[in-house]
């Protein structure tokens, strides 16, 4: 079985819970600290395909950057992707990937949908 990939923010309790869940289940995983290592446009597009959602659904709308710059705006799919690349804090987390599927692990039990 492939390793899980976790888009992780160490400051996020839900993200830490996802790693603990995988540890408890004895699953192998790789961590991508997406706030330290910027994603590419291609990376983000691939994640969205695996999630099966439009880019706007992956945007954290409660973040100050969203409220200040994007609240009430209607953007295209490529524009939302560009926004998340410029403001990675706006990317919902944690994202857990296994093979060609992904989930936003809120709650962490959503990870089980990948099996």
pLDDT digits (tens, 9 = 90+) for 56-102: 999 999 999 999 999 999 999 999 999 999 999 999 999 999 999 99
Catalytic residue of the set 3, 10, 11, 12? 12
Range of the domain at 106: 4-114
Q: Closest Cα to residue 97, out of 14, 37, 30, 13?
A: 30
What pLDDT is attached to residue 12?
Answer: 94
pLDDT tens digits along 26-59: 999 999 999 998 889 999 999 999 999 999 999 9
Q: How many domains does the chain have?
A: 1
Q: Would you say 70 and 30 are in contact if contact means Cβ atoms under 8 Å apart?
A: no
Dist. CA 34–CA 41, nearest whole Å: 13
* 30 closest CA partner among 38, 40, 22, 41: 22
Tell me, yes or no, if 18 is annotated catalytic.
no
Model confidence, pTM: 0.94
Which 8-state DSSP code applies to residue 109? Answer: G
Residue 86's CATH number: 3.40.30.10
Helix 41-51 to helix 77-86 angle, to the nearest 10 degrees?
Answer: 120
2 has a pLDDT exceeding 70: no
């Amino acid at each position: 079985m492939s390793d899980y990939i976790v888009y992780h923010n160490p400051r996020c309790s839900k993200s830490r819970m996802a790693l603990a869940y995988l540890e408890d289940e004895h699953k192998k995983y790789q961590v991508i600290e997406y706030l330290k290592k910027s994603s590419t446009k291609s990376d983000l597009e691939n994640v969205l395909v695996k999630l099966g959602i439009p880019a706007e659904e992956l945007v954290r709308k409660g973040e100050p950057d969203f409220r200040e710059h994007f609240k009430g705006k209607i953007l295209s799919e490529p524009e939302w992707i560009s926004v998340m690349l410029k403001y990675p804090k706006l990317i919902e987390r944690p994202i857990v990937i296994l093979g060609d599927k992904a989930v936003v692990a809120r709650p962490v039990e959503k990870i089980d949908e990948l099996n």
